[in-house]
Structure 1
């Protein structure tokens, strides 16, 4: 009697494997990798999508925009999330990738609350990150040494910040962090610290800085008065199909754009009053 039971168990196992293989072959699971600034939006949309579509799974991972673009280009993942245009990243053939802009996000300098500053000129902010200013007192703050904290070199947030604040120059060598949450925590805990975050990550633990009197708000991003912003891109290697196509259509739907995007601190693309190309030019 034991042999037939063993055979039946083996057959059942093989059927299960066959079912799993068929499930994978149907493309019912995809992976989106890249920008940590975009990650909360994609994760929340994925959870909502999965609730409405049982048996269809979206695996969301961070790693930075550079990772997202290189992984989707290599065909290792279905979606590469990025804060920057593919054209801006060396080693990426943008002509092979399809850009799906799902939101816009503002990026703001953040400081430790002991700094005692609410506004800074763009020129002084540039000097701070280039290491030309070493004490906050020099730019109107309290008598505290400036402690720089940068995102890792592959970060799209860092790319955007350096592009618009440092005009393409590289920030002074300093401590680097890949995790946005860790950046915020270190700035909150370190007197004199400064870094930068997407609006969606700002909490009461840190202070933000106005630049030349312009506040870091969604409204100012929409009109390009606040220039430190970027599109949030979800790239595919060629035109999306199957589950990838369905998920991208879902995240761009009015339902998600109005009920999730804005609530998480992002700006729906439909609300932007200006458009920029990959070179930073405003499109009329």
Structure 2
């Protein structure tokens, strides 16, 4: 740690915006504030800590709140970075032409169930029917006689947008319990018998995920290699949006996030480096080879 730099990793609530996140504190008023995607939050926070270790006097504040909030806040000039799992063009009310897109990684998204559910694979049709309310008992898809408890993400979530785009095929999800972030979903699915939801890959490992399990779709496993080839189609870019002109510390932080030095950190936390992708996706959801 550099002399004169104090790092404090804390779970903090910013009263004005209601965002929950990790703040890296430093000794001066130089500050970068990133708000939005909770799928990107673990990576953004880890890189923030490493960046601050190398840049004495700079504060990097990483908060959640969802992709919609991130895009809205950066668009209004309230924060320096809006973290998002979706393209700005995909969010109503956002003037994408005023923002600059920095794609920093790729995140896979997978359906997950409570560990007691005796189902390891679903067809895409079965998964769609569960989330639209046509299938309500695990017995209907080869599991035990147990009610299915559907946990969804709240409106404005980029993870939800991606899941619905790839799975629901334009159909409306059934009314169910909704949670604001990946961490809350992880906890509830882990502790609720019969529960199903979906999470970024980065939330499917570690001690807090020990009571949940990812589900394959049409016998395709949710792995990084399958995402890289689009064999697993439920994935999204992790975007860091800024205004067209931004300050030097924000620019340096994003550049550091995308650097080769952070590639191992990206992989360790369950994300896929941009350079590892064999395909690319546009705002319309079209996928082509790189």
Q: Is the shorter-chain TM-score for this pair beyond 0.5, marking a shared fold? A: yes
Aligned counterpart, 2:83: 81
Q: Secondary structure at the match of 2:173?
A: coil
TM-score, L = length of structure 1: 0.89
Contact 2:190 2:210 in 1 (8 A): no
Q: Secondary structure at the match of 2:139?
A: helix
Aligned counterpart, 1:216: 222
Residue of structure 2 aligned with 1:123, choices 125, 138, 148: 125
After superposition, give the CA deviation of every residue in 1:94-136 in whole Å (9 maximum; x if it has no partner): 1111100000000000011222001100000000000001111
Larger Rg: 1
Q: How many residues align?
A: 258
**C-alpha root-mean-square deviation of aligned residues, in Å?**
1.0
Contact 1:130 1:172 in 2 (8 A): yes
Contact 1:114 1:142 in 2 (8 A): no
Deviation at 1:283, TM superposition (A): 3.0
Deviation at 1:205, TM superposition (A): 1.6
Residue of structure 1 aligned with 2:242, choices 236, 242, 265: 236
Q: Secondary structure at the match of 1:270?
A: helix
- The structure whose residues are more often helix, as a share, is 1
After superposition, give the CA deviation of every residue in 1:238-261 in whole Å (9 maximum; x if it has no partner): 1433111111111111101x2210
TM-score, L = length of structure 2: 0.87
Unaligned runs of 5+ in 1: 1-22
Deviation at 1:179, TM superposition (A): 2.7
Aligned counterpart, 1:282: 287
Unaligned runs of 5+ in 2: 1-27
Cα distance between partner residues in 2 of 1:168 and 1:49: 41
Which ranges of 4 or more aligned residues in structure 1 deviate by more than 6 Å? none
Contact 2:66 2:181 in 1 (8 A): no
Query: Are 2:179 and 1:177 aligned?
Result: yes
Cα distance between partner residues in 2 of 1:225 and 1:259: 23
Aligned counterpart, 2:144: 142
Cα distance between partner residues in 1 of 2:288 and 2:103: 15
- The structure whose residues are more often strand, as a share, is 2
Deviation at 1:171, TM superposition (A): 1.1
Cα distance between partner residues in 1 of 2:31 and 2:241: 17
